[in-house]
Amino acid sequence: MLEGLFNQLAKPAPPCVIKVPPVPSGKKQREPLQATDYKAVPWVPPVPSEKTETKAKITLSTKERQKLLAYLDAIGETDRESIDEYLTGCGKDAESLARQLQQADDCLQLKTGDFTGLVQCSGCRHLSGDTCQFHGWRVVVDKWRRCTDFEPLQKTTDTELITCKSCIHFESHYKHGGGAGACHAGVMPFGACHWADTQHQCDKYQEVKR
Ligand code: SF4
Ligand code: SF4
């Protein structure tokens, strides 16, 4: 019996195969990275700042105030509220004040009959219709102004200054025959505003026989 036991022990033991169940990972796996279509992020234009440049208000000096009041008087402005509003506007910033003072100067100078340094667009070769071709802006054609770009319409000195009012080609827009009107001689394009009393040179002028 002992011999049988020894024989059994002498035989090699069969390999012990233990099935180990998979241990579930405690961690959640990430979704595998996948290639995705590239979509460009649309460009968003920068939003302009809402801040605007603020200009410093000006306190009018006594002299400036007097000049502006003299100008208002010259153009016949008497309404107190309008005068206050105008003066407040003049003191808005240095640029506005300089512009208004220049306008006042020009007006007061014109009142004395002195046209020195002042021109009218109606006598300038850059004017086409009611637009200045040099600057590209619309103008009041018979307003006296300072303009360093003024070039006389006709440089001939032998042509005397005339007004459209006494020309057969002129047709006023008004019954009184003055003010704005049209030239039927085609001197200026259709729509141009001719002023009856503006002095200028014109080689198509023909005096109305009375
Ligand atoms: S250049 Fe000056 S004067 Fe001549 S049309 Fe222009 S704004 Fe008027
Ligand atoms: S022809 Fe000359 S003067 Fe006569 S209406 Fe025309 S622009 Fe005026």
Q: Which of 161, 164, 206, 162 is nearest to 181 (CA)?
A: 164
- Residue 94 covered by a domain: yes
Ligand closest in space to the Cα of 126: 1
State the average pLDDT over residues 183-201: 75
Our answer on whether the CB atom of 149 is closer than 6 Å to any ligand 1 atom is: yes
Assigned token pair, 150: 């003024």
> Does ligand 1 have an atom closer than 6 angstroms to the CB of 147?
yes
What value, to the nearest 5°, has the Cα angle with vertex 160 and ends 159 and 165?
120
What is the mean pLDDT of the segment spanning 51-80?
Answer: 87
pLDDT given at position 47: 61
Stretch 125-134: mean pLDDT = 86
Q: Please check whether residue 125 lies inside any domain of the structure.
A: no
- The residue-averaged pLDDT of 120-148 equals 88
Task: Give the rounded percent of residues in the chain with a pLDDT score beyond 90.
Answer: 30
Is pLDDT of 30 > 90? no
The reply to whether 21 falls in a domain is no
| pLDDT above 80: residue 190 | no
Ligand closest in space to the Cα of 139: 1
Q: Which residues line ligand 2 (CB under 6 A)?
A: 162, 164, 167, 169-170, 183, 185, 187, 194, 202, 204-205
Domains: count for the chain: 1
pLDDT at 127 over 60: yes
> What ligand has the least distance to the C-alpha of 193?
2
Q: Is the pTM above the cut of 0.85?
A: no
As a whole number of angstroms, the distance between CA 69 and CA 57 comes to 19
Rounded to whole angstroms, the Cα distance separating 72 from 111 reads 12
Task: Establish if 44 belongs to a structural domain.
Answer: no
In this prediction, residues 74-83 reach a mean pLDDT of 93
> Which of ligand 2's atoms lies nearest the C-alpha of 162?
3
Indicate if ligand 1 lies below 6 Å from the C-beta of 124. Answer: yes
Residue range(s) defining the domain that contains residue 91: 55-114
In-domain check, residue 77: yes
Tell me, yes or no, whether 32 lies in a domain.
Answer: no
**C-alpha 137 – ligand 1 centre gap (Å):** 9
Write the residue with the smallest CA distance to atom 8 of ligand 1: 121
* Average pLDDT value for residue range 203-210: 78
Report if residue 109 sits inside a domain. Answer: yes
Asked if 170 and 194 touch (Cβ cutoff 8 Å), the reply is: yes
- Binned at pLDDT 50, 70 and 90, residue 83 comes out as very high
Cα of 76 from ligand 2 centre, angstroms: 32
Compute the distance between CA of residue 136 and CA of residue 115 in angstroms, rounded to an integer: 25
Give domain status of residue 41, yes or no.
no
Least confident of 37-46, 58-67, 103-112, 174-183: 37-46
Q: What is residue 197's predicted lDDT score, i.e. its pLDDT?
A: 84
Tokens (6 digits) for 127: 């004017």
pLDDT tier, 146 (very low <50, low <70, confident <90, very high otherwise): very high
Determine the pLDDT at residue 53: 56
Q: What is the pLDDT of residue 35?
A: 46
pLDDT digits (tens, 9 = 90+) for 95-109: 999 999 999 999 999
Ligand 1, atom 6: closest residue by C-alpha: 132
Region for residue 76 given its phi and psi (left: phi exceeds 0; alpha: psi -120 to 50; beta: otherwise) = left
- Mean pLDDT within 72-93: 93
**Closest-lying ligand 2 atom to the alpha carbon of residue 170:** 5
- Average pLDDT, stretch 61-66? 95
Helix (H, G, I), strand (E, B) or coil at 195: strand
Instruction: Say how far apart CA 96 and CA 161 lie, in whole Å.
Output: 35
Is the CB of 188 within 6 Å of ligand 1?
Answer: no
